[in-house]
Amino acid sequence: MAQYFTERLQKVFHMIFKSYNQEMAQEGLRQLELIVNNQHSPEQPNHRALRNDMTTSLENEIDTKEDALKIANDPESREIADAYALLARIYAGPRFTWEESNFPENNMRTYQCLHDSIRRCSPIGTLQALRINGTITPTVEKDMLISFDDAFRIVYDYAEQGDAFCQYIIGNVFFWRDDDRIRLARDMITPPRLSLAKRIQQSFQKGSIQERLIALQGTISNETLQENATKLAKELFNRALDNGLAMFQGNLRNIYIDEGDFNNARRVALTAAELGNPTMMLYTGLDCHEHGKFEDAFTWFTKGAALGQAESTAELADYYYHFYDAKELRRVIPYDPVKAIGLYRRAATKYFSDAGYAALQAAFGYIFHIGHLPLDWGLIADLTHMAATKERFMFSLPYIGYMRIHGFGVTKNIRFGVQSLTRVLDEEKRALEEEDRVLFYDITRALTRVALGYAYEKGYVTGKPDLDTAVAYYEESHQYILSHKANLDEELKGIPIDDEAEERLAAFEEVDGHWRYKEGMTESTTTVRPGHTEWPQNAARLSVNMDDFLWDTTLYDWQTIEHALASQDEMKLSFYNHFLSVPDKLRNIFKLDVKRMLRDTYQVRIHGYDPTEGQETIYRALIKKENTIQLLKDLYDTHQLPALGDNWSIETNEEKPTWHYVLDVDQQAFLLEEYDDANAMIQTALQGLKDKKYEQINVRTHDFIGPSYFIFRGNHANPFRVQLYLKESVRHSIDKDGKPLDTPGNTYLFEQHLGNEVSLNYWIQKTINTLEIPELEGYRTKSVAILVPKIGK
């Protein structure tokens, strides 16, 4: 069996793509960086160069196509090129590795590495470029030393000799139909041309005249090509899987699913799961669950969760929480709500479709202290906010409304709280009437009603107390609690369920058909879900590390703050309800964050508002460790922040460019800020237009509003026909009634034929960097309009 990589790269490849061990994968990344920087010993310090010092000299040494092919065919000669190709795959994001590895996604680094790989004649890097959008820039295409066909032939030879990664790479060529760029691949999926006699015979079997002509010409339909490409992709992916490469088998599984071949789809997932693929563990677990194999599903979800697979973590939480109403599942899987809510909390930090659901499930567990969980209003607020921002806004509103009404863990906001709660009732009614659907658990509906009852009792809704409506909501809430208790499963009936409404109802009596407070009482009270009453817990949430994620909490003391400062790189206090001020400097301070720096120093930042002008302002200072501890201790003990002396300065935001410039080469767009050779790309594109390689190039803003250049082929004397697009700013004025009036600015299109690409490139670069434009002398006005003109010939 032939091996594509050198022994050194093969070892690193295994660490990154086959170990499914995060620490080992990160070490593999470190070793790859050392390899491309010519540091052969893994013991040497990590140094990442944007360009290897050997790049230019190596390119200069490759004088001929024969030299390039000699390098491309020799694993030792192309080792650094292949290492760059693997680095590009890593930095391209989770679609190209495995999500749980936590590799950093970096577009510019991806392009840099892939471009170095191509320039150094890596066959896998050259083919990989077809899979990463924006890779084949004009400069890279000009610098390519081996063709796609050359790369395909070399990788295909290794695939035929049993190299699993090469089998995957070639399978991908057919899966994604890259045969439009690779002649050898197109030849492999194109049936041999039939003889004239057979074509005549086939034409007589067709129905329409058009079909007969196609048969007579011997034209191969795209359906036939697709069928042949899929067949080859399946064959190669299966061979890669049989050779132990499990990471990239999603494409093979998808082929079988699209074909309705679920047995083979199941086989692929199971084989890949057994080889350690976390995503395939999820799919295998879901398949086991669907077929009632709950213990097997539990095993796979447990394995996937241990590797950090987000959906497996959420599914495992559902199992421990007995979310599914299946008697056999509940018999074989232990009920453990505390473990379930911890898993929900961990899953909520991930990026997947049900992250909001996981956050909400965790918040539910804490707010109703399922399994005797502590009532942590800071954590509940953080979880609820996360759920709301991850597509669970409506389902978060009962908890948001409750917290805002009372000011628990968040700043009290009565108006928003009431709006949230009434919207919940409206949505409940709509869902029931229009969809015959119940939106919330009974216990959550009880929470909404008891919060609304409190709002009416305090006069938050109508401006004065309305005890009749308050009691009506309290009674409705109490009935939902009774309904919740009555419908509990046997295993849950021993768990106490708090009834806040029942406690509040004890404060009222009915007289003459109306409700009033009993003698000696002025408000209803409850022991359920109390808020914090002591400083600083009643005023600030502290961020602490839970499962490698910074969550807010209001359950802390001074020792918790000390530990957070010592063990975390960052720590923050987020203030609510009670806001501090620093005289003449800041008012309504809402956050204090601390970041560890070098040499026992911390950067402390205080966020608030300017006391005179009102804009948000941040003061920051570098403070020694002992002084940082003393600042926090004084704040904890005295409720005060220090005077901001000369060592404190106002943080200013660096101005960011107004527009992002894009280079269009025919139909392909490149966001220039993601490339380190943007100037060369524009210059090469202009040369390509001059050489009639391209039809049109544009250098434009991303939103078509800023100054932009649209450049077409010109004539022999002046090869560039340049259209300069400009748009005036909005004009602000006052109408006849004294109201502000904004008038859209005109748009202008100027055109000129130019012959000097150096001058043209100079002005393009100047416009990108300064927004300056050339003198318009020599340009003729092509269009003036209120609306954006149609750009083109």
pLDDT in tens, 500-536: 999 999 999 999 999 999 999 999 999 999 999 999 9
Residue 497's alpha-carbon distances to 391, 482, 486, in angstroms, are 29, 10, 11
What pLDDT sits at residue 204? 67
Q: 788 with 782: CB under 8 angstroms?
A: no
What pLDDT sits at residue 746? 81
What pLDDT sits at residue 193? 67
| Other Cβ atoms closer than 10 A to 617 | 18
Tell me the pLDDT band of 50, cut-offs 50, 70 and 90.
very low
678-690 vs 757-770: helix axis angle to the nearest 10? Answer: 140
What pLDDT sits at residue 673? 86
Report percent pLDDT > 70 for the chain.
91
Q: With 0-12 CB in 10 A as exposed, 13-18 as middle and 19+ as buried, what is 125? A: buried
Distance CA(331)–CA(294), nearest Å, equals 10
Tell me the pLDDT band of 107, cut-offs 50, 70 and 90.
confident
> Terminal CA-to-CA distance of the chain, rounded, Å?
57
Nearest to 113 by CA among 101, 204, 99, 96: 96
Q: What is the mean pLDDT of residues 252-271?
A: 97
**How many Cα atoms sit within 13 Å of 325 on the Cβ side?**
3
Distance CA(474)–CA(451), nearest Å, equals 9
What pLDDT sits at residue 612? 87
Q: What length is written for the chain?
A: 793
Tokens matching residue 29: 């990344």
pLDDT in tens, 158-175: 999 999 999 999 999 999
Look-up of token digits 């999500």: 99
Q: What is the mean pLDDT of residues 183-200?
A: 80
What pLDDT sits at residue 322? 92
Domain boundaries, the chain: 7-146, 540-650, 661-785
Distance CA(760)–CA(755), nearest Å, equals 9
What pLDDT sits at residue 585? 92
Q: What is the mean pLDDT of residues 335-363?
A: 95
pLDDT in tens, 386-413: 999 998 999 999 999 999 999 999 999 9
Helix (H) / strand (E) element for 762: namely helix 757-770
Out of 8-22, 108-122, 440-454, which region has the weakest mean confidence (pLDDT)? 108-122
Q: Please check the confidence at residue 788 and state whether its pLDDT lies above 50.
A: no
Q: 304 with 314: CB under 8 angstroms?
A: no
DSSP 653: P
Q: 601 with 623: CB under 8 angstroms?
A: yes
What pLDDT sits at residue 47? 38
User: Which residue type does 453 have?
Assistant: G
Strands 780-785 and 747-754 come out as antiparallel
Q: What is the mean pLDDT of residues 688-712?
A: 90
In this structure, what are the phi and psi dihedrals at residue 659, rounded to the nearest 5 degrees?
A: -125, 155
What pLDDT sits at residue 208? 74
pTM, to two decimals: 0.81
Higher-scoring residue by pLDDT: 456, 758: 456
Cα Rg of the chain (Å, integer): 33
Distance CA(588)–CA(591), nearest Å, equals 9
What pLDDT sits at residue 195? 67
Q: What is the mean pLDDT of residues 66-73?
A: 94
Nearest to 401 by CA among 457, 372, 433, 444: 444
What pLDDT sits at residue 141? 82
Tell me the pLDDT band of 39, cut-offs 50, 70 and 90.
very low
What pLDDT sits at residue 786? 42
Nearest to 336 by CA among 302, 375, 370: 370
Taking 3-state DSSP, the helix, strand and coil percentages for the chain, each rounded to the nearest 5, stand at 50, 15, 35
What pLDDT sits at residue 369? 83
What pLDDT sits at residue 683? 87
What pLDDT sits at residue 40? 45
Contacts of 738 (CB under 8 A, 6+ apart): none
What pLDDT sits at residue 596? 94
Q: 339 with 347: CB under 8 angstroms?
A: no
Residue 629's alpha-carbon distances to 236, 257, 349, 640, 754, in angstroms, are 61, 59, 29, 14, 66
Distance CA(140)–CA(677), nearest Å, equals 10
DSSP 50: S
Tokens matching residue 441: 């658990």
Distance CA(219)–CA(216), nearest Å, equals 8
Distance CA(316)–CA(289), nearest Å, equals 11
Tell me the pLDDT band of 686, cut-offs 50, 70 and 90.
very high
Q: What is the mean pLDDT of residues 753-775?
A: 87
Q: Please check the confidence at residue 782 and state whether its pLDDT lies above 60.
A: yes
Q: Which residues pair with 698 in a beta bridge?
A: 664, 710
Out of 355-364, 465-474, 543-552, 760-769, which region has the weakest mean confidence (pLDDT)? 760-769
pLDDT in tens, 213-257: 766 665 677 888 999 999 999 999 999 999 999 988 899 999 999
Q: Please check the confidence at residue 793 and state whether its pLDDT lies above 50.
A: no
Residue 411's alpha-carbon distances to 21, 288, 537, 667, in angstroms, are 43, 46, 13, 51
Q: Where are the beta strands (DSSP E) in 565-628?
A: 570-575, 580-582, 586-596, 601-609, 616-624
pLDDT in tens, 286-295: 999 999 999 9
Q: 255 with 194: CB under 8 angstroms?
A: no
In this structure, what are the phi and psi dihedrals at residue 431, rounded to the nearest 5 degrees?
A: -65, -35
Residue 227's alpha-carbon distances to 171, 224, 432, 645, in angstroms, are 14, 5, 48, 74
Residue 577's alpha-carbon distances to 400, 403, 427, 589, in angstroms, are 15, 12, 29, 11
Distance CA(349)–CA(235), nearest Å, equals 38
pLDDT in tens, 532-575: 999 999 999 999 999 889 999 999 999 999 999 999 999 999 99
Q: What is the mean pLDDT of residues 329-340?
A: 93
Distance CA(91)–CA(96), nearest Å, equals 8
Tell me the pLDDT band of 790, cut-offs 50, 70 and 90.
very low
Q: What is the mean pLDDT of residues 59-86?
A: 89
Q: Please check the confidence at residue 326 and state whether its pLDDT lies above 50.
A: yes
Q: What is the mean pLDDT of residues 760-766?
A: 89
What pLDDT sits at residue 658? 64
Q: What is the mean pLDDT of residues 434-463?
A: 96
What pLDDT sits at residue 147? 94
Q: Please check the confidence at residue 192 and state whether its pLDDT lies above 80.
A: no
